[in-house]
Chain A
Amino acid sequence: MNNDSPVKAFLVILLTALVCSSLVSAAVVVLRPIQLNNQMVDRSRNIINLTGLIEKGVTPSDEEMLELYRGMDVRIVNIDEAEFDNELDPLSFDPRRAVNSPELGVNIPADQDRASLGRRSRYAPVYIVLRDEELDRIILPVHGTGMWSTIYGYVALESDLNTIAAATFYEQNETPGLGDQIMRPEWQEQWAGRLIYDEVGDMRFAVNHGKVEPGSSTWLYEVDALTGATVTADAVTGMMQYWFGPHGYRDFLDHLREHGSGEH
């Protein structure tokens, strides 16, 4: 057939599209299970690194990570009722989907919305680390709106439910080289040991606008600024203020402090 006839052009395009799209689809279908497994390992690593269960410098294999993760005590918290929920299945509950559901989500009052979220899920999956039957750490999910993206992270608290044991941010799309420094392990490491609330129970944690001087009045509650990323740093502060404030986990943490985690 003549190469310049419109019919030939049409056929060539149709065939190319068919062949190319089936090749791409095949690649996606074949590789999907491996990618899902990677995501699981990734999520497990984020959580396990906060538990204090692995020693520093030890890197468990992917299988060990998944094994440790499967052994975690994960529970659903009803944030508004300030207690554990016994009805939802912690393994299948998807908080991101719950945000927009009429029953599972709730609007955040504008004057409280320090994380600029608009809405949040009523429930959150939290991870509990027990040592000798006693609560050792609790890992709480947090998220908030940064400069360009929603930032997702976890904060692990010590058994006093006030000292930060570790924190991590695992998903963001902030400015490369500036805001995305929140992903740097060195920056996340300085969170360990900071306090969230002061003696009278006011939420004090913040990202400083400079370097935190040891011994200064805010030293116990603040971490160093991120060079050139004020908006992202303030977003992290806002996110912490919201999630550890009255509309966030505050009541739940108070309740847990008084009653312990045993009522599950």
Chain B
Amino acid sequence: MGSKDTFIKPLLKENPVTLHVLGICSALAITNSLTSSLIMSVSLTAVLVLTNVAISLIRKHLPSSVRLIVQITIIASAVAIIDQVLTAYLPDAAKTLSVYIALIVTNCIVLGRAEACAMKHGVGTSILDALGNGLGYSIILIIVAVIRELFGNGSLMGHRILELVHEGGWYEPNAMLLLPPSAFFIIGFLVWGIRCWKPEQNEKADFRPAPLPDSEKR
């Protein structure tokens, strides 16, 4: 696998959200505003890069019996540091994102990449892999957030784009888009769209239903 591939593949072909369906919790929770989504995207990418590098550096000295504990410790520390940086330099955004920054620890993308890539590859490849997956996650988050904020609130990053009816404009906002389930639908449609375009992403059926016995056929 070439280094270019390592970076490009997670953007669409092996996107962590739409193909592996990871990181859904935060994708549902914070995509009602584009600003939060951008901050979340940058934070997650930063955590991914930090942890992938750290784990890749020490991968040859990690006893397999305790490797998950060490990985999680490193991830949790990276998240704690990012959390501190955010509360210091972006206090308002940190307040809106509140618990979701801390929850990056449990974002399966981070541990997934640590296990799948950083444990097996050198630092260079791990950085590319982290950036690729961070960006892949960010793309989905941004698409969902643009749809939700624009049609749910008529604004983007807090700037008014569509004039709302109750402010004298013409656009009646769809309040459902501001609630978490709407992100579920949007991600669902994205997964569907991508898999229609690239059918090789469809998983093989895990099992085939047994044929009905003749007596039950009508």
A residues within 8 Å of B by Cβ?
3-5, 8-9, 12-13, 16-17, 20-21, 23-24, 27-28, 31, 34-35, 38, 42, 177
- Can you sample 5 A-B contacts with CB below 8 Å? A8-B61, A17-B73, A21-B77, A27-B85, A34-B88
Knowing A13-B70, A23-B81, A27-B80, the reply to whether A3 touches B62 (Cβ < 8 A) is: yes
Docked pose: A17 CA to B61 CA in angstroms? 15
Residue-wise, chain B 38-63 has the 8 Å CB interface mask toward A (1 for contact) of 00000000000000000000101111
Q: What 7 additional pairs, Cβ within 8 angstroms, besides A31-B84, A35-B84?
A: A3-B61, A3-B64, A8-B61, A9-B66, A13-B70, A24-B77, A27-B85
B61 with A12: CB separation less than 8 A: yes
What is the minimal beta-carbon distance from B103 to any residue of chain A, in angstroms?
14
Docked pose: A12 CA to B68 CA in angstroms? 12
Docked pose: A3 CA to B59 CA in angstroms? 11
- The number of chain B residues with a CB under 8 A from chain A is 24
B210 touches A (CB below 8 Å): no
B69 touches A (CB below 8 Å): yes
- Give the residue of A9, A20, A42 whose beta carbon is less than 8 angstroms from that of B74: A20
B residues within 8 Å of A by Cβ?
58, 60-66, 69-70, 73-74, 76-77, 80-81, 84-85, 87-89, 91, 178-179
Interface of B is mostly: helix
A4 with B85: CB separation less than 8 A: no
In the complex, chain A residues whose CB is within 8 Å of the CB of B58? 12
A24 with B73: CB separation less than 8 A: no
A9 with B63: CB separation less than 8 A: yes
9 nearest A-B residue pairs (beta carbon):
A20-B77, A31-B88, A34-B88, A38-B91, A9-B63, A27-B81, A27-B84, A9-B66, A24-B80
